[in-house]
Amino acid sequence: MYYLGIDCHKYFSYVTALDETGQVKFKGKMGNRKDDFEKLLNGLGERCKATVETGYDWGILYDMLTEMGVEVILAHAKKIKLITMNPQKTDKRDSLILAQLLRTNMIPRVYAPTREMRRNKAVLRERQFYTKIRTMTKNKVHKLLHRNGIKMNGYSDAFGKSGRRYMEEAELPKTEKVLLDNELDMLDVITSKIKAVEKSAVEITKENRYVELIRTIPGLGVVLSRTIALEIADIARFSKAKKLASYSGLVPREHSSSDHIYRGSLIKDCNKHLKEALIEGAWVAIRCSAYFESIYTNVKSRRGGNKAIVAVARQMAEIIYYMLKENRSYVERYTADNKMAAL
């Protein structure tokens, strides 16, 4: 058995191969091409185990080596850095450290979604990207109208048919009119892109059992339930509900020593796409669910609105965990003391 530590970059990798005694059998820089790795594996002649860190292009190398029969372990890049604490960082050192940790079974593993899962996630993440651009564009339109003294108070949806007609007919200086037309055209393009992505999302999630279960939670509609289902991928990889909440970035940093406990801001090393979906759903849930509204009201009175909505999102994440684990839908009911509870 040989252990390959691969420090992967965009166009090349630095590879170190160790045998079972820890002796270096190969080290060097090589291209990220199948032919190069086949040559390396054939030269070693024995079964190999490899590790690559999470990063820009880990999926390409991971898939290629897996198809070649190599067992590949995906390593948590930040945790590797904490373990090694090496002030001297080079590709050669990083590759050697990865190989040594792999040989001693000390690699901090990360869940590696399949190629199909990663491609499916990319579809919904593309929608999130377009949605952000659409919001930015709408804000630019509102700013343009405001600086020209045009108010849209009489329209429930400023960008609906009647609102758009009013904007297009508004009297504006020539330069401002050009800018407004450009922004409205941009909105039309972005909206068409979002619809196309949503159509693809229907196809890739039609057999995903998580989607229908998550949709039973108030506030999580078709799009958000699909996003959450794809980002979670497999609920079995989380040992408990708090793990899912942490993965979603909905728990604070904590530093405890003796009787002193300090909790800081929300952790940043998380799945930001899942976090955004849960918080977006939480804002809707507090308007259509007595249970989530009660959580929001209770926390808001003590800690403010922002922390309250995070508390709702975290509770939603933990509820999703139990729903998917037990394969059941969301239910709200009143307890014996007349308090709202979720099942």
The 3-state DSSP class for residue 289 equals coil
Tokens describing residue 26: 């190969």
Looking at mean pLDDT, say which of 113-122, 146-155, 333-342 comes out highest: 113-122
Instruction: Return the closest-CA partner of residue 70 out of 87, 52, 55, 49.
Output: 49
Out of 98-102, 215-219, 262-266, pick the least confident: 262-266
> What are the helix (H) ranges across the chain?
34-44, 58-67, 77-84, 91-103, 115-147, 161-169, 174-205, 209-214, 222-232, 241-247, 272-288, 290-303, 305-326
Kindly tell me if the per-residue pLDDT of 338 is higher than 70. Answer: no
First to last CA, the chain: 50
- The stretch 136-154 carries a mean pLDDT of 91
Reported as a pLDDT band with limits 50, 70 and 90, residue 87 is: confident
The 3-state DSSP class for residue 186 equals helix
At 258 the pLDDT is 67
Question: Between vectors from CA 206 to CA 205 and to CA 210, what angle results, nearest 5°?
Answer: 60
- The stretch 96-122 carries a mean pLDDT of 93
At 337 the pLDDT is 57
Phi, psi of 50 (to 5 degrees): -130, 160
At 204 the pLDDT is 92
At 339 the pLDDT is 58
Which CA distances in Å does 341 have to 104, 165, 222, 250, 302? 47, 46, 24, 21, 21
User: pLDDT over 90 for what percent of the chain?
Assistant: 74
What does the alpha-carbon distance between residue 100 and residue 169 come to, in Å, rounded to a whole number?
69
Sign for the pseudo-dihedral over CA of 296, 299, 300, 305: negative
Q: Which residues, including other chains, have CB under 8 Å from residue 246's CB and lie 6 or more apart?
A: 267, 270
What does the alpha-carbon distance between residue 5 and residue 17 come to, in Å, rounded to a whole number?
7
Kindly tell me if the per-residue pLDDT of 285 is higher than 60. Answer: yes
- The three-state DSSP-derived secondary structure of 165-185 is HHHHHCCCCHHHHHHHHHHHH
Task: Please give the mean pLDDT across all residues of the chain.
Answer: 90
Predicted confidence (pLDDT) per residue in 247-266, tens digit: 999 988 777 766 777 777 88
Kindly tell me if the per-residue pLDDT of 292 is higher than 60. Answer: yes
Reported as a pLDDT band with limits 50, 70 and 90, residue 225 is: very high
